[in-house]
Amino acid sequence: MDVLIVGSGPAAAGAAIALSALPGVTIRVLDVGGRLEEANEAARLRMSQSEPGGWSPSDVQTISQVATPTRAHRLPEKRNYGSSFPFDDFGQLEGVTGQGDVNTHVVSGAYGGFTNTWGAQTMVYSAASFADWPFARHELEPDYRAILATIPYSGEHDDLAEYFPLWGPADPLPPLSENSTRILDRYERHRLQVRRQGVIVGKGRLALRGTACVSCGLCMTGCPYSYVYSAAQTFDQLIADGRITYIGGYVALRLGEEDERPHVVARNQSTGEVETFHADKIFVGCGAIGTTRLVASSLDMWSQAIHLQESVQFLMPLASMRGTRVLSQDGSFTLNQFNIVMPFDEAGRDLVQIHGYPYNKAMDDAVPAPLRLPMLRGLRAMLLKHLTVGLGYLPSWLSPGFDVTIVRPESPDQLAEVILSSTSGSHEQSAARMRAINARLLRVAPYLGVVPVLPMVTLSAPGKSYHFGGSFPHSQNPVAGRESDVLGRVHPWRNVHLVDASVFPTVSATTFTLTIMANAHRIARQVAEDARG
């Protein structure tokens, strides 16, 4: 079977992991393939070959640029190894515009996609999250396990396992920060009182080689040793093993299928030439918005508002009653260290999750402007010693989401225009849920030793969470051109399969990427099994 995968992000990696394990499958990967700048990669490589004590200060400075504030969005945009390449336009952002404060850096052209700069949170969806899906979580369990057996994974069994089982061999996490340790210890001491208020606390679950981590503090700007997983690592390994043929430098323009023989029309970014790639099966993993544009363009869905569901992100600063002794990210890993989960129903479908982060240097630029004055450096440091940053998510059914409109291009060798616009839906529901979250956190503050800084709690702009999808959701009885079947096929196609979050019926308020990879793995596995009879 000749297979073509479009994209190199987590969905494409999930499909590739499944297909590469099967005999008789020839795999090509068609990708934009934007890369880290050579100077930054050289600095990272030099650092990866020595201990932190031997790093050149100039190399550290090159790769450790912190998140960059953006004019339209409340949360800054991360940098990876000192570069913006996960967000840069390598051709894939052609024609993408936004109305209002919608985030427009929503399609990555980087090799590995947005996993180059993600937070590495790696948890399964709760079983009840699949109440809105056409299959149950247990049908996805072997695929969750297959992904977790392939990627680096760190986590520990705790109360979170009631909703989120580990389902894979996991490294222990590196040593936690002082504040994180204190919060987790207080939870253990006051567990019953906290849980009676509808709050559960546990350690992070991360796509991280925890036992190898040297706690150099650079997780949020790019691990020099590549201990934090990126989908690029999966493709690097498959290329090295000779299991895939990687074709970079192409932007996919259209999909098609004639006599059940699918094809992709793509533009070579070096030559400008438009080429057609045929295969027996095509798996599309361009990210929810990239895939939405590709499908809508191919099915002539012009000038129609297509709604994308989003699990909206919110910023929740938490002030500790006791501060850390030293304000430094050195000697610590700076990814998510603990999670606060709040179930709002007995089954565990309607969940809210807050990821707790320790101090990192990006926080210095996030404090109010007066505190950034040099004369107030001491006061700023004192306050930051007491601060833990929480990044939380609401489920898609309590989030406004946003609309995508695809406009016909002037020329067939151009990408269709994408217009992103915010919607008015669910703002009242979002506000009501945020009030309930604040109330629960205030009730457990005496037990956990942290209190939410309510004046600084903010919802992010539409599209800024990067947890969005559902433009062509899975359905047992899909509406032609609007929904996909359980194998990600949109009518009239039989051998074109969407494998990213564009097929999610809902987007839960818990970690996102693992379920994308597992579902892509399931689709590819089942397609290959059906083809073999």
pLDDT at 374 over 70: no
Give the model's pLDDT for residue 325.
72
pLDDT band at 72; cut points 50, 70, 90: very low
pLDDT bracket for residue 110 (50, 70, 90): very high
The predicted pLDDT at position 385 comes to 76
Distance CA 426, CA 396 (A): 9
pLDDT average, residue stretch 221-230: 96
| 433 pLDDT above the threshold of 80 | yes
Query: pLDDT at position 310, please?
Result: 97
- Name residues whose C-beta falls within 8 Å of residue 433's C-beta, 6 or more positions apart in sequence: 344, 352, 394, 398
- Average pLDDT (449-466) is 92
pLDDT at 467: 97
Strand partners, 170: none
pLDDT above 90 for 64: no
pLDDT at 67: 65
Expressed in percent and rounded to 5, the helix, strand and coil fractions of the chain are: 30, 20, 45
Predicted local confidence at residue 427, as pLDDT: 78
φ, ψ of residue 486 in degrees (nearest 5): -70, -10
Q: What is the mean pLDDT of residues 66-85?
A: 72
pLDDT band at 428 (very low <50, low <70, confident <90, very high): confident
| pLDDT at residue 139, rounded to an integer | 97
Nearest 5°: phi and psi at 458?
-140, 145
223 vs 108, 164, 169, 214, 219, CA distance in Å?
20, 26, 22, 10, 5
pLDDT at 131: 96
Maximum CA extent, the chain: 73
d(CA 185, CA 204): 14
Summarised one tens digit per residue, pLDDT across range 179-196 is: 999 999 999 999 999 999
pTM: 0.95
Cβ contact 478:492 at 8 Å: no
> d(Cα 53, Cα 240) in Å, to the nearest integer?
31
Mean pLDDT, rounded, for 358-381:
62
Which pLDDT score, from 0 to 100, does residue 73 have? 40
Q: Are 470 and 507 in contact (CB under 8 A)?
A: yes
Helix axes 427-448, 178-189, angle to 10 degrees: 80
For 419: left if phi > 0, alpha if psi spans -120 to 50, otherwise beta; the answer is: beta
Q: How many angstroms separate the CA atoms of 209 and 170, rounded?
A: 9
Q: Which of 240, 209, 211, 237 is nearest to 223 (CA)?
A: 209
Q: Which two tokens stand for residue 10?
A: 């987590």
Q: Is 92 exposed, middle or buried (0-12, 13-18, 19+ CB in 10 A)?
A: buried
CA angle, 252 as apex, 226 and 10 as ends, to 5°? 30
Strands 338-343 and 261-268, sheet pairing = unpaired
pLDDT of residue 365: 62
Q: What is the pLDDT of residues 278-321, one digit of tens each?
A: 999 999 999 999 999 999 999 999 999 999 999 999 999 998 88
Range with the poorest average pLDDT among 9-23, 72-86, 122-136, 230-244: 72-86
pLDDT attached to residue 523: 98
38 touches 62 (CB < 8 A): no
Instruction: Please give the pLDDT value at position 62.
Output: 94
On the question of pLDDT at 372 being above 60, the answer is no
